Structure formats: structure tokens, C-alpha cells
Amino acid sequence: MPNKYVRKTDKGGKYTREQLQQAVAEVKSGVYTAYRASKNYNIPLTTIIDHIKGRRGKKSHSFGRSTALPLQDEKTLVAGQTYMEKYGYGLSRKEVLDIVGTYVKEKGLKTPFKDGVPSKDWFIAFKQRHNLSLKKPQRVEYARKKACDPFIIKHYFNILKSTIDELNLSDKSHLIWNFDETSFCKDPSKTKVIGPKGSTATRTTSSPGKENTSVLLGCSAAGAKAPPLIIFKGKNIWDQFMAPQNTGFPGTTYAATTNGWMETSVFENYFKNSFFNNLGSERPVLIIYDGHSTHVGINLIEMMRTNNIVILKLPPHSSHLLQPLDLSTMKSLKSRWDAKLITWQRHHIGMKLPKREFSKMIGDIWSETSEDVIKNGFMKGGIVPFNDKIIPDERYDPTALQRWKQHNSVQKTYDNPVQSTDDNNLPQCAVIRDTVTELPVINSAPSCSTAHIDAESSANLSFETLLLGTIKSHVSHEKVKKTRVCPGAEVITTDEAVQKLKEKEKEKDKPKQITKKKKIKKITETESSEEKENEEDKPKQITAKKKVQKIPVNDSSEDGLSSDNFSLHSSSSEGSISDLLMEIEEHREEEQAFKPLTEKEVGDWAIVKFCLRKTVKYYVGRVISIHEGETLFTFVRKASERDGKTTFRYTPTTDVSAVVNGDIISILPQPVIGRRGEVIFSVGFSSYNIQ
């Protein structure tokens, strides 16, 4: 059968079911003959006779044969999958066909389906009958779905209402502000173009389209616009980054960061040096924005409190529901940006958009933004005018909405207790589930498998069971201790919030204590008692760590171990260099005396440090020549360590480097030169970061 069948006749459409029933009844009662009834009602004679003799049933609502599935079952399937699609769990064509196939097999229905599974043609007709279509779904993070929790959203609106009333801002929309940052790509991507059918369309750009620039925007509920903050990637701001004089948006602010993203210091400086200068003197002011880590610095909050400004933080992952700039302004802003970018590129083919021109274009589109568009965003967010019911129930997570309704019903019952009239005399809240609209609970869905379903359950099988089986939760329900991570909506300029932030800052400033794991020698069962006795008779060796506690460190150490050097070098990840020097100190009596760093000579051996980006490494080298301010060394690499002695070898290629005198840690005792040119020190280096 073709996918788009067009009926060629109107047979069966000239009379209704009621007319057929009346004609048959009049023939049976003898009022008319079958021929006369056929002429009066314009019904075929054979049709009337077939219905009188019971050879046919009732007239169908549609032309042609009946559907393979009962119409009521199809409606149930449509309602279920529409409900799932609304909450982000829509089904694909294959999943729908598999579910229908399972339903047909387990119910034992007789259908024209091959192997009990409907074909693509059936699916096309199914879509047409119920006004359905295949769509490419938009991606929505699970965190955003879970953020649509009425407990979170209603709590935010309660805080918003109390804050507006406390600050007396219900009729002062010009004192309610919203700030948000977004990125602008330097190549167009949204605007569509016209072209012939059957061929792809292309757009010539100047770059791969991956370069983005962050911009912070702010506006008030009255439609006022704050100067934008443009954040470039770099270390410095140059005059060529700024829009030409008397162009762009007045008071535009510029900043530069290493990655081109917002930073706490940049956010603070913008409010201090730009926003406050354009805000005016009327107070108090309410600022609403998301709780990104760069927006909640303790210095910023203290500054806001000093200027009588209250900050209300939005709940996490809820900006698509509550943030005014996201609800109306950003979309129109990006569309106009795309159009201006296309126009500019047509007049500058192959050229990359300069930062100067970028700043000018951003200022132009921000200036062109309508006040009505901005006000509409605050209205959609339920801020001005205040409306805590602005978000419909369809946007909430269904299970969370069910809990919310039950919670409200129970709360109302306790506030206004009404005694029931049954024998048990229970309060009305005892039968609360009867008064709450029940929604499908996804996590409690029964198990469904297309391979096997019990014979007893097949009789009660329904499309609801099959649909819920596709999203049955497989997560274990073990009780886990809950820890409060984020309080959701919060006024972060209160005394309690400031105290929490100060405590967090103190925790960050605490130095991390680096503990050194002790090596424990394991004694095997085969170790003889004599060996144990010998170990006990041996004198205990004094460790280098204990030695450090006995030797004070002063600023005038002969070996260059000043207090400054000590605090710097002791940050090694594998061991303190001062500990190493103490271990070397133990061998002073056996070896020749150490030389001060100022008396080093050609041929002396020393420990030298090299400061890398994330760590400090130490090497052993021999002095080749001495110059003013630096010394030339040739270095050796550690080869082995045995019996408290360390062996070094020269590298195949001469490793020579000039070292600043301040990076020389200490002069080592003269080593013993082995038979194969090894350099052997009577000091162990195993616990330290000597390369």
C-alpha cells in the first residue's frame, strides 16, 4: 500500500450510521420495502439487505477496513508516549514498533503484521491518524530536569517575595537588576540562507568558528541597561581592543584573563569601577544572578553590603526557568549579532573580525535592545510583576510534583483539621491519596521484558506497563547519608551567608599538612631467632628527621642553608632537602669538612636545584668554571644505591648548564671514582628527589 493513499471515490460517505439504522428499522417494521428505503435514504440496496440479514456489522466511522489494533488501545499508546516525551523520555520509531509487537504477541491478537511486529507503513498511518511526527529532541541536562522541582522553585519564590517586601521594592522595578554572562562566536551560525532544493548550502567564514568572547550583561526590571563588560583572552588590554570613540555602548568596560572567562577579581572590579558609577544614589537595590563561583567572592559581598545592595542567588540549573536575560533577551541579542556579523564578513571577505570592531558591534546590538524585551524577561521569570505560579505544572518533574501536592494537601489538613464521618473517625489527611491527582511514578514501574512476560500478567498487560518498563530505574535504593551541597536560592548578602563564606576562605588558606609514610620492615616467619637477637643488640640509628630538630637553622649558615632557603627547599614532594643536608652532616667526621658556598672551587661537587612550573628538582654536579653571579656545572645522573652509598654516572652526552649561585644548595664531600668512571658518594639519597 502506498504511504500516502488518496481515496478516489466517496462511496460510503453519502449517508450516516444513524440513517442506515433508521432505514433498516423501517424495513423490518414494514413501513418501507428495502427498495423504497434505498431510494429515500440514498443507501445501496445490498447494504440494507445485508444489515437486515445480519451479514454485516455496524457502519464504521472511517472508510476502509478497521485498524489492526483497537482504536482505544492506540489512543492509550499515544497518551502514554506523549506524556513521556513531555518529560524528556520520548520513544523512537523502533521502540514504538517493538512495544506494539510485544503487546500483540502477549495478548494473542490477530493482526496482519509480519511475525507480529508492525511495519513502517503501519507507523506512518499511525502518525497520520493521531497527528504525530518524528522530531529531533533538544538536549536538556538531567540536572536541569531535576532542578524543575517545585520544592526548589517555590522556595525561591518565597525568598524573592519576602526580600522584595522587606526592601519595599514592589513598586520600584528600576531597583531590581539581573546580570548574566554569555559568549559570542566570531563566525555566524544561526542565520539561514536560501538555495535550491536537493543541494547543500555553505557559508564562507574566516575561521573555524570556535573563537568565542565572554560578555557580561545587566539590565533592570524597568528596561534600563548597564554598561557591558567584554572579557578578552590575554594578559593585557590594548587600546586597539576598545570600540572607537563615540561608538558602541557608553561606559563599556574591558578586561583580559588567561582563558577569556570570568574571574572573581574581574567581576568585583566591574561593579566597583563601572556599575556603581551608573547606578545612582537610590537604595536599597536587589541584584539577581546565578551562583557561579566567580559571583560569590567574599570581597564582592562585603562591598555590596557596604553599598546597601542585596544579592539573591538563583537555584542551580534553573536559569532557563527563572533568569530574565535568558528568558527573553539573549535569543534576540544573538540573532541580531549573527545578522550583523554576516553583513560585516560580506564586506571583509576572508578577514578575521578585529577586537575593536567586535566591541563596537556588541555595543550597537546592546543599545538596540528594546526595553519591552527586557521587561518581558522579568515578567516571564515571575519577578515583576511577582507571580509564583508563572511556571506551569507541565515543566516540573512529575514525581517531585506529586510529592509537592501531597505535602501541600497534608499541610492544609493539619492547618484546618476536618474529621471524617467513618467509624474510625480518622482525620481527612489519612485518605489524602484519594484527593490528590495521581501521576505515574517512574521509579516504581513494573519490570517489562519483550522476551518473557508471565502468563498471569499477560491478561492484565497494558501499554502503560510496557511504556513505564522502558524507563524502569535500575538504581539500588540503599540508604545513603545525605550531605547538603547547595542550599538552592539564597540571599548571599546576609550575615549568616557572609560568615559561611569567611569560614570557607579560612579553610582554603590553611596549609595542607604533608605526611611522610614510614617504611616498615616486615619480618618473615623464616627469620631465625638469632637474627632477631642481633637486630636487638645493634645500636639504634638516629634518623635524619630527629637530627633536624636538634640543629637550628639561622640566617648566616655557612652552607647556604638560610631561613629563606629552608622554607623554600623543604617543599619537595619526596623529602626535605634540609633533611638531606642533615644526613650529609652525619658523614662530616668521616669525610673532609664542608666548604662554604663562597669558597667553592673548580672540581668541587654540589647539589643544585632547578625550579620547574609545578615542582622543584635537584641534581648533583661538578664545578667546571666560576663566573660572576653564576657557575658552570657538568651533571651526573643517579644510577644505583647500596649500603648507604650512592653511585652516579655521567650521561652519554655531556650535560652542562650554567647555574645561578643562589640555586646552589650545598657543597658535597669529594666522592670516590670507581673503576668504570662511576662517581660514588658515601651518602644515601634514596628518600629524596635527587635525579
- Please report the pLDDT score of residue 598 as a whole number: 73
Q: For the range 563-571, what are the long-range contacts, defined as Cβ-Cβ under 8 Å and sequence gap of 24 or more?
A: 565/665, 568/616, 569/609, 569/616, 569/665, 571/616
Tell whether 630 and 666 lie within a shared domain: yes
Tell whether 383 and 408 lie within a shared domain: no
- Please report the pLDDT score of residue 510 as a whole number: 66
Mean pLDDT, to the nearest integer, of 490-498? 79
Which residue's entry shows cell 442506515? Answer: 20
Tell whether 417 and 326 lie within a shared domain: no
Mean pLDDT, to the nearest integer, of 37-52? 88
Going 268 to 272 to 273 to 278, the CA torsion angle's sign is: positive
Q: Of 163-177, 193-207, 380-394, 610-624, which gets the smallest average pLDDT?
A: 193-207
- Please report the pLDDT score of residue 376 as a whole number: 93
The reply to whether 241 falls in a domain is: yes
Cell of 470: 522502558
Q: For the range 131-137, what are the long-range contacts, defined as Cβ-Cβ under 8 Å and sequence gap of 24 or more?
A: 132/78, 134/93, 135/90, 137/85, 137/88, 137/90
Residue 477 class from Cβ within 10 Å (0-12 exposed, 13-18 middle, 19+ buried)?
exposed
The reply to whether 493 falls in a domain is: no
User: With 50 as the cut, is the pLDDT of residue 547 above it?
Assistant: no
User: With 80 as the cut, is the pLDDT of residue 262 above it?
Assistant: yes
Domain that holds residue 40: 1-66
pLDDT range class, residue 58, cuts 50, 70, 90: low
The reply to whether 675 falls in a domain is: yes
Instruction: Return the higher-pLDDT residue of 199 and 321.
Output: 321
CATH of the domain at 47: 1.10.10.60
The reply to whether 13 falls in a domain is: yes
Mean pLDDT, to the nearest integer, of 171-189? 89
- Please report the pLDDT score of residue 4 as a whole number: 63
Which range is most confident: 9-18, 301-310, 516-525? 301-310
| Final residue of a structural domain among 66, 95, 112 | 66
Distances (CA, A) of 646 to 488, 574, 591, 656, 670: 59, 17, 15, 21, 13
Tell me how many degrees the CA angle 388-389-392 measures, rounded to the nearest 5: 140
- Please report the pLDDT score of residue 594 as a whole number: 54
The reply to whether 304 falls in a domain is: yes
Q: How many helices (H) and strands (E) does the chain have?
A: 24, 15
Mean pLDDT, to the nearest integer, of 151-157? 88
Count of CB atoms within 10 A of residue 417's CB? 10
- Please report the pLDDT score of residue 202 as a whole number: 72
Q: Of 250-259, 359-368, 647-656, which gets the smallest average pLDDT?
A: 647-656
- Please report the pLDDT score of residue 252 as a whole number: 93
- Say if strands 656-660 and 630-642 run parallel, antiparallel, or are unpaired: antiparallel
Tell whether 284 and 386 lie within a shared domain: yes
User: With 50 as the cut, is the pLDDT of residue 167 above it?
Assistant: yes
Task: Reduce the secondary structure of 278-315 to three states and give it as a string.
Answer: HHCCCCCEEEEECCCHHHCCHHHHHHHHHCCEEEEECC
User: With 50 as the cut, is the pLDDT of residue 464 above it?
Assistant: yes
Tell whether 564 and 669 lie within a shared domain: yes
Each residue of 61-106: pLDDT tens digit? 555 667 888 888 888 888 887 877 766 677 888 888 888 888 888 8
- Please report the pLDDT score of residue 656 as a whole number: 84
- Please report the pLDDT score of residue 51 as a whole number: 86
- Please report the pLDDT score of residue 541 as a whole number: 43
pLDDT range class, residue 539, cuts 50, 70, 90: very low
Instruction: Return the higher-pLDDT residue of 655 and 32.
Output: 32
Tell whether 270 and 416 lie within a shared domain: no
Q: Of 62-76, 374-388, 424-438, which gets the smallest average pLDDT?
A: 424-438
User: With 70 as the cut, is the pLDDT of residue 503 above it?
Assistant: yes
Instruction: Return the higher-pLDDT residue of 641 and 422.
Output: 641
CA 637 – CA 652 distance, rounded (Å): 11
Single-letter code of the amino acid located at 70: P
pLDDT range class, residue 342, cuts 50, 70, 90: confident
CA-based radius of gyration for the chain: 41
Tell whether 380 and 414 lie within a shared domain: no
pTM: 0.51
- Please report the pLDDT score of residue 516 as a whole number: 46
| Final residue of a structural domain among 380, 414, 439 | 439
- Please report the pLDDT score of residue 660 as a whole number: 85
User: With 50 as the cut, is the pLDDT of residue 551 above it?
Assistant: no
Percentage of the chain modeled with pLDDT above 70: 69
Instruction: Return the higher-pLDDT residue of 10 and 425.
Output: 10
Tell whether 337 and 417 lie within a shared domain: no
Mean pLDDT, to the nearest integer, of 33-42? 89
pLDDT range class, residue 422, cuts 50, 70, 90: very low
First to last CA, the chain: 80
User: With 60 as the cut, is the pLDDT of residue 620 above it?
Assistant: yes
Tell whether 330 and 361 lie within a shared domain: yes
Tell whether 631 and 563 lie within a shared domain: yes
Tell whether 55 and 17 lie within a shared domain: yes
The reply to whether 199 falls in a domain is: no
The answer to whether 255 and 269 have CB atoms below 8 angstroms apart is yes
User: With 60 as the cut, is the pLDDT of residue 310 above it?
Assistant: yes
Tell whether 180 and 256 lie within a shared domain: yes
Percentage of the chain modeled with pLDDT above 90: 18
The reply to whether 195 falls in a domain is: no
pLDDT range class, residue 487, cuts 50, 70, 90: low
CATH of the domain at 357: 3.30.420.10
Distances (CA, A) of 530 to 537, 539, 541: 11, 16, 20
| Final residue of a structural domain among 439, 471, 495 | 439
pLDDT range class, residue 18, cuts 50, 70, 90: confident
What's the length of the chain? 691
pLDDT range class, residue 441, cuts 50, 70, 90: very low
Instruction: Return the higher-pLDDT residue of 276 and 149.
Output: 276
Instruction: Return the higher-pLDDT residue of 444 and 158.
Output: 158
Q: Which residues of 590-606 are buried (b: 16+ CB within 10 A; e: fewer)?
A: eeeebbebeebeeebbb
- Please report the pLDDT score of residue 517 as a whole number: 44
User: With 90 as the cut, is the pLDDT of residue 377 above it?
Assistant: yes
User: With 80 as the cut, is the pLDDT of residue 592 above it?
Assistant: no
Mean pLDDT, to the nearest integer, of 212-229? 93
The domain tally of the chain equals 4
The reply to whether 51 falls in a domain is: yes
- Please report the pLDDT score of residue 382 as a whole number: 93
- Please report the pLDDT score of residue 365 as a whole number: 93
Average confidence score pLDDT of the chain: 74
What are the φ/ψ torsions at residue 283 (nearest 5 degrees)? -140, 160
Mean pLDDT, to the nearest integer, of 406-423? 56
